[in-house]
Amino acid sequence: MTLAGIRVTLAASTFSALRYPNYRRFWWGGLVSLTGSWGQTTALSWLVYDLTGSPLMLGTVMMVNTIPTMLLALVGGVIADRSEKRYMLMASQGTFMAISMALAVLTLTGRIEVWQILALSAIGGIASAIDMPARQSLIPHLVGRDDLLNAIALNSAMFNGSRILGPAVAGLIIGWLGPRGGPGWCFVINAITYLAVLGALATIRVNSRPLVGERQRVLREVREGVAFAWQHRALRRFLGLLAVTGIFGLSFTVLMPVFARDVLHVSAQGFGMLMTASGLGATVGVLALASSRPKSPGNVILGTQAGFVVLLAAFAMSSNYAMSLVLMVVLSGAMTSYLSSTNTTIQSIVPDGLRGRVMSLYILAFFGTAPLGGLLMGSLASALGAPVAVLSGAAVCAGAALAAWLSGRRQSATRA
């Protein structure tokens, strides 16, 4: 085979899920919308830190945004297993659009206060508890079963690829228009980008209603999903590792404004470039995963998590901006490869009838741990400094990875 033939084959393998029209519309609409969302996330972090100068307040905003997700994710999974997923997503995306418009009006009129940000963040967290299980459980309806893992990896690439442009543009806008006008216009742009995903959802032609069957009480269905995950050893191990990594490792992102301004001594544009470097590395990582067909998913999960921990420790100890940019690229690549491999492995294990509920556990372990992680990292950073806080979290994650590896070895020995 020629080099050109190899490239074509690799591209076809990496992007195979995009040949489905419904998935293609969903993917492009999500890419546009998430680019605006990452710009808003960057602008909101900078705005909060500019208003308060407090790392703890950054963690508090994150906590308020994600506590509703933590409390309601399991109920959201039950709703996803009972409802038309497209309609759920249209309702949640419309709510996010309204929140962005409210932030824009308050900021551009000079009336923005931290309590308003906290209130709107809480509303967004409630919408996320509905949005995330529906999004995860809709994907199998958009592609063939053979392309499901590729579609999940490309969905992660969409999520992280949008981080390349969104934060960089937000940083430029904040530097150009100032610490109030810049974030305000980032919120306006984000509100407009939601039209792309709403339009895509409106034109998708797929029946994502659940199969008609006997329904039980909500709490009983929640317990059914939890029991399935607990009784499945691999699911229990991977979800437990993800929860620990979510609290002590992934929460380093809440301290990025602190690293940018106080450790690396860069402006809003430099902060935006750090976030863009994160998006670039994340995209490369998940595209590499999308083109691969690993024979041992468990080893991929543990290997990428271990790489993430080592690189996170290196980033915490770096005080050089150029080195931190490079580390952010490879760190984010390892992080998203770990998250995507965990997601695809769980999706391949869970039966369709329990998909929404089990994926809500994935969301709970990933996003739902953020309130505790954000508050913990913010508190440690306020007391000991951001580098020590992140380095401590990396050490805890390393211990969790070792425990998960030993548990897997014992399970393999038992089978043998």
CATH number at residue 164: 1.20.1250.20
Output the pTM of the full model.
0.70
The more confidently predicted of residues 77 and 88 is: 88
pLDDT of residue 3: 38
**From 40-49, 102-111, 206-215, 309-318, the region with the lowest mean pLDDT:** 206-215
Let me know if residue 358 belongs to a domain.
yes
Per-residue pLDDT, averaged over 318-331, amounts to: 93
Given this model, what pLDDT does residue 6 score?
A: 36
On whether residue 210 sits in a domain, the answer given is no
Instruction: Identify which of 309-318, 348-357, 405-414 has the greatest average pLDDT.
Output: 309-318
Higher pLDDT, 36 or 71: 36
CA distance 400 to 306: 10
pLDDT category at 310 given cuts 50, 70, 90 is: very high
Looking at the domain assignment, is residue 7 inside a domain?
A: no
In a domain, 273, yes or no: yes
Say how many domains are in the chain.
1
Q: Residue 4: its pLDDT value, please?
A: 42
What digits encode the pLDDT tens for the residues 232-270?
Answer: 888 888 898 998 998 898 888 888 888 988 899 988 778
Domain that holds residue 22: 18-205+218-415
Taking a C-beta distance cutoff of 8 angstroms, is the pair 49, 58 a contact?
A: yes
pLDDT at 353 over 80: no
Domain presence at residue 6: no
- Whether residue 131 lies inside any domain: the answer is yes
Least confident of 32-41, 78-87, 284-293: 284-293
Cβ atoms 9, 141 nearer than 8 A: no
On the question of pLDDT at 2 being above 50, the answer is no
Confidence label for 1 from pLDDT (cuts 50, 70 and 90): very low
How would residue 42 be classed by pLDDT, with cut points 50, 70 and 90? confident
Average pLDDT over residues 65-85: 78
Query: Does 104 map to a domain?
Result: yes
What is the model's pLDDT at position 345?
A: 82
Per residue in 199-225, pLDDT tens?
Answer: 999 998 876 665 555 566 667 777 877
Residue 367, pLDDT above cutoff 80: no
Residue 92 is assigned to a structural domain of this protein? yes
Task: Output the average pLDDT for the chain.
Answer: 82
Cα distance between residue 400 and residue 398, in whole Å: 5
pLDDT greater than 50 at residue 10: no
Residue scoring higher pLDDT (167 or 89): 89
